[in-house]
Structure 1
Amino acid sequence: MHLLAAAAAYDAKTAVNSLWLLVAAALVLLMTPGVAFFYGGMVKAKSVISMMMMSFGAIALVGVLWMLYGYGMAFGTPLIPHVLGNPFDGFIGLQKFLGIGAGGAMNPDMNSLAFVGFQATFAIITVALISGAIADRAKFGAWMVFAGIWVTVVYFPVAYWVFNLQDGWLASVLHVNDFAGGTAVHINAGAAGLALALVLGKRVGFQKGIQKPHNVPLTLLGAALLWFGWFGFNAGSEAAVDGVAAIAWINTLAAPAAATIGWLIVEKIKDGKPTSIGAASGAVAGLVAITPACNILTPGWAIVLGLITGAICAIAIEMKWKLGFDDSLDVVGIHLVGGVIGTLYIGIFGAGIGLLDTGSFAQLGVQAIGAFSVMIYSFVLAYVIGWIIQKTMGFRITNEDEIAGVDTVVHGEEGYLLDANV
């Protein structure tokens, strides 16, 4: 009877954890439409459809590739030990988890499939985040080609390094603490965004102050959806209903709230006025920074991280004007910089492993290796892929089409029909 009771308790716990993973996966999937709204409100009115379509295109393409072979590359049995998984070891089309018997009936592995779905949403949003760096000037077809190649040769391997706790070289060998994707998602996307911004070049008339958000409420809606979904992103990464999930949830409230304040203080000092776009950007910067650290910081240190990140990212977004690269929607200043801050912060303030608790710089060094190895790998390959696409099929639309509006030129649609007679 003891064994039966233990088995029943185990099954109930597994079922609860699987349910939480499925709910968290739905929350994270909602974040990609959130990105579409967040980015869409900040571009020109004649580019909003193009901007949002790049996010929805990421859902479609990456969702398919993940089910076909992406999961196997990121979480399969080692093909190249510590570097890459083997999608051919029963993972093509997720055959390993379907439990197909002799008669063809399925008996799916609930917990494994829930985890597959959860991780799929991470791959999707990572690709969608990159699109903000090339707003107003990218061809949709070229973007989809880039997305398919980049997610295959960059994201899937990096996910293996970071999230594969059994064999990934960053996770299992170096023991980098990246709970929910500061390196694999945000540094990865930010570095790729910088590479594409350099490949595609500047928008027509690129200079500070020329571009105003066309729909601020749309951006605020996007930020709200991102924050809402981020509770699944971070707390769901525990893959269990326990205390770690709870502290991750609490820190996902604390850090972005503080980052919003940090960003607005800098805006007030620098420009004289705190803005709603600044509040939304500050919240996202705080969410980025807490992502790798949400499992290992006290709420107090999460607040400090948020304040620091909000202030630094508010200053960092000015880099594009000084350095002359057109990162349209501040993917570099928010996701790359915020991801690096959050990843390194663990090496100092992480409970039980950081400098303050151990007196050692060892974990800080490990975190730095994780951050900069992913940054360099993603930047180099994204630049090469983008450059080849630009030189072959063309990645950027012409200046004339950019002025006319990418929505009508590429998609044959307008975001807002203003004709009173229709």
Structure 2
Amino acid sequence: MKKRSIFALASLTVVTSMLLSACGNSSAPKDPETPGAEGEVETITFINHKTDWETNGKWDEYMAEFNKVHPNIKVEIQTITDYAGQMKTRMNTKEYGDLLMLPADISPQDYALFFEPLGQKEELSEKYMGLNDRSFEGVQYGIPTQLNATGMVVNMKVFQNAGINEFPKTPEEFVKALETIKEKNPDVIPLYTNYAAGWTLSNWDFVRTGVSGDPDVTTKMAQDEAPFEKGDTMHTIYDVLFQVAEKGLIEADPTTSDWEQSKVDMANGKIGVMVLGSWAVPQVQAIVPENADDITFQTFPVTAADGKQYMGVGGDYNLAINVNSEHKEAARKLLDWLIDESAYAVENGGLPALKGGEYPPALKASQDAGVILLEENPAPAGKESLFSDVNNEAELGVGSTDLEKQRIIDAAVGNSNEKFEDIMNEYNTRWADAVKKFSSN
């Protein structure tokens, strides 16, 4: 099967960095199904986004533990800050590692072009959760490193210092609370968008499961010709983003925001809220351990029609094996070890994909508060790629790119003359055209 360019898989126009050099591999080629001879060391490359673990030595610790079980497999770790963008470039070649984190915006029907099948979804689902995202026609191509809740990382001490002791439950209460924080503590940034980092803004899209309280929200959205109407889930989410930016409740110049510094500032009480996954909680807590109890995880401030609050839970990056790898068996051993035996998920604030795993403290706190964790249902047979197809055709980058969320912020802070409702109307038009195209196929 001829591999197409990854740029042909998504109609999104992505500006990428210059082509990275092919990843090194010191092992001589061998049959991927034939284990190395006794005493022979096989080298594999694992490409991932966990730059912080390379910096703090955590990956070295993990690979030392892995080598206690598999001493004949040497793992070369490569970490990338702009993971999604740079992996697009690498995947135009065959040199994108042996084991990697599966990029989010590849259409399911194209998985087989890039990734080795890991087994039948039905069989693997007896052991793992969160398999809905990276399967196609019953075949699994990725297994989540962890399941994350998506919501808000909050420095609750910031709220308490402003006289707010309970996290808001509606958009109106939330915006008012941020205004109170700014009024009482002008040096604090109530909500940090991380505009410049870009990828962080996709988290605003991922809260849709919790905001809607509907496990079929994504499947329905892929067939809805007007999902950005006022009162609908996506409009509600984007309206909150627009309001906080318009009211000056975000960083002064979002175009120069700094992701790494934002975590430091939140740990030190200089930021109130960031919309992220639960994985970010331990990263922030580790910066100033004595302030760790101040950092909590809250659901997006919306109460569903049934009076309950929900928090969407879904797979983080999935581990996948390069279909071109000459070391598939060794890569699979590392994949299985990371998911089945290591503490990767819990140490990153997530829920293990392995059934029966330990819940992280961040999610336990939400459960204690009565928030219901909600995992999306899989798309119906024959519609596995419908959302991805519609999203790519509309070029709105829901959950995959940052440009349209940046556009909302630009309009809110006066960097453009656009009006929020005009943007939403345009989104509806683009989305409707895409829905019509694929509903007729």
Same fold at TM > 0.5: no
Which structure carries more helix by proportion? 1
TM value normalised by structure 1:
0.25
TM value normalised by structure 2:
0.25
